[in-house]
Chain A
Amino acid sequence: MNRFLRWLGIAVLVFIAAPLVIVIPMSFSEARSLQFPPPGYWLGYYTAYFTDPNWLRPTWNSILIASATTVLTMALVVPATFALVRHRFRGKGIADLMMLMPLAVPHIVMAVGYYSYFGSFGIVHTHLGVILAHSCLSVPIAFLVLSANLKGFDRTLERAALSLGASPTKTFIHVTLPILRPGLIISALFAFVQSFDETVVAIFISGRGAETLPRKMFDSIRQEADPVIAVISTLLFLAVILGVTAPLLISRIRSRRTRIAAT
């Protein structure tokens, strides 16, 4: 079984990697439609992306919406996570479950709900509508990350600060928050990415007014498969590579530094 599973594993590796890698050469292709291998290479579609307002506007919308979503999500989730992780109270089990519910409901169902509900307020096709919807969908992921961090928090540090005379507020600001910072940053990052990548709800409620990048990409792929999509895909993939490897590189540099400091 050993060798068989291993070979199968290597084949799967190719299956996982190939689609990710192929968008890179495609983005430099001269072809107007999907064609691989490319007939020739140029940077024309990069210029097209960075100069075409039809692509830049959705990009900007997405950044704006994801940023606002992150702020709103964190403002709601941070206090709630403290309540749920550090306190025992009646109804906690249900509250815990409710935090995860947006993950359990298919996005298409929420899209139908938001389309009609926001329609009655007139905030369909607005930034506000998308931000409000995305904040809901980002709650579980931000909560999961933050609560995992908070559960591993060594509370003796807080007790030490308190026993040395710091007020609970001071302890929170000078001890709890700094220690929790990496967790907070990762949690916020996850909320941002969740909103930035969210497609289904955005397709139905972002409309022309607040068109997000995924919505624009979806429409474009559906209609004509504009070659600019390869450019955006490459840029998004590069962002992912950076995001995934950066923590590793940082920790490696740090550990090297401490090793040097130790010698």
Chain B
Amino acid sequence: MGVNIAKLTQRTDLWPWLLLTPLAVYMAIFFVVPLADVAIMSFTEPSPTLSNYERVLTGGLYLRTFLNTFVTAITVTLCCLFVGYPLAYLMASSKPRTAMLILLLVTMSFWTSFLVRTYAWMVLLGNNGPVVWLLQTIGMERPPQLLFTRFSSTLAMVHILAPYMIMNIYSVMRKIDPTLIRSAESLGARGFSLFRHVYLPLTAPGIANGSVLVFVICLGFYVTPVLLGSPREQMIAGLIGNQIDEFLAFGMGSAMAMVLLVVTLAILAIYHRRFGLDKLWG
């Protein structure tokens, strides 16, 4: 028997490698090589120099786009936090049944395609949409242009990415031991001070998880900024897309993609060293 069990679990050291090989080969051919291709093109297209990086890292348009991307990603992350924290709290402090219903709604939003949600915001914020109508009803004669601005794309991204934040914070809040809160109260912590010194630190891991995830996704966001944002204030992914399908400038596109990739991986690497990457999506 003992031998049999050992057979099933261990066999030889070769067994795990045998199981892993098909995937490893596949990932090498269809993940690593295309990525390496981007890296190579960034140096060699159209001619083998560093000129792509020179342009990307010094040109006004590119720097402005990088800056804009960062500012947008930070704004979206903060807004998601502002939106996600209260909702997670509402869930954690409601009856199980109510919490379940809210979680159901958040899950539905999470699973609904980015495109569908982006389109929905187009309807909501359009010139003949409900928001403009509401603004007119409350007396604003000429409501501002909402669609195709930085405002509309930021708002839609907050809506699209909020579920990541909510689920991360909620999963931490749910596990908080209520006796901790009660003992803090019995020691005299009230109101804001209770929140600031007890509740907030306890929920910090969820905030960190959610924020990293939202920030990183936002950095490379393509669909929503392209469809809803202002063409004059692009984000980096949109600009990369332009280089490829409008100008066929693979060198420039690749150099920008490499910058985006390096920044993204650097953030995730820092996160990985502190918490472990598998926690982020788990």
Contacts and interface: CB of A to CB of B under 8 A. Distances in A.
Contacts of B105: 13, 16-17
Nearest to A2: B93
Nearest to B281: A144
Nearest to B195: A1
A63 interface: no
A243 B111 contact: yes
A33 interface: yes
Nearest to B236: A108
Interface string A143-179: 0100010000000001100110000100110000000
Nearest to A1: B195
Give chain A's interface secondary structure class. Answer: helix
A12 B260 contact: no
A116 interface: yes
B113 interface: yes
A161 B93 CA distance: 45
Contacts of A183: none
A200 B31 contact: no
Given A200-B222, A214-B113, A103 B281 contact: yes
Contact of A80 (B8, B9, B23, B191): B23
B66 interface: no
Nearest to B4: A162
A9 B31 contact: no
B250 A12 contact: no
A108 B30 contact: no
Contact of A34 (B87, B129, B253, B258): B129
A79 B124 contact: no
Interface string B4-35: 11011110010111111011101100110111
B22 A22 contact: no
B123 A37 contact: no
B248 to A, nearest CB: 10
Contact of B108 (A8, A77, A222, A240): A240
Contacts of A11: 86
A30 interface: no
B120 A20 contact: yes
A250 B133 CA distance: 42
A112 B113 contact: no
A76 B84 CA distance: 36
Interface residues of A, number: 100
A221 B257 CA distance: 25
A16 B124 CA distance: 13
B136 interface: no
A10 interface: yes
Interface string A33-77: 111110000000000000000000000000000000000000111
A84 to B, nearest CB: 7
Give chain B's interface secondary structure class. Answer: helix
B182 to A, nearest CB: 14
A124 B191 CA distance: 60
A9 B90 contact: yes
A174 B118 CA distance: 46
A115 B104 contact: no
B261 interface: yes
B54 interface: no
A8 B86 contact: yes
Contacts of B281: 100, 103, 140-141, 144
A198 B279 CA distance: 23
Nearest to B199: A1
Nearest to B36: A113
CB-CB nearest 9 A-B residue pairs: A106-B220, A9-B90, A113-B34, A8-B86, A19-B120, A83-B19, A87-B16, A83-B16, A79-B19
Interface of A: 1-2, 5-6, 8-13, 15-20, 22-23, 26, 33-37, 75-77, 79-80, 82-84, 86-87, 89, 92, 95-118, 132-133, 135-136, 139-141, 144, 148, 158-159, 162-163, 168, 171-172, 193, 197, 199-200, 203-204, 214, 217-218, 221-222, 225, 229-230, 232-233, 236-237, 240-241, 243-245, 248
18 contacts: A9-B90, A12-B162, A17-B109, A20-B112, A37-B130, A79-B22, A89-B16, A97-B272, A100-B278, A105-B261, A106-B219, A111-B244, A112-B240, A117-B34, A133-B30, A221-B119, A232-B116, A244-B111
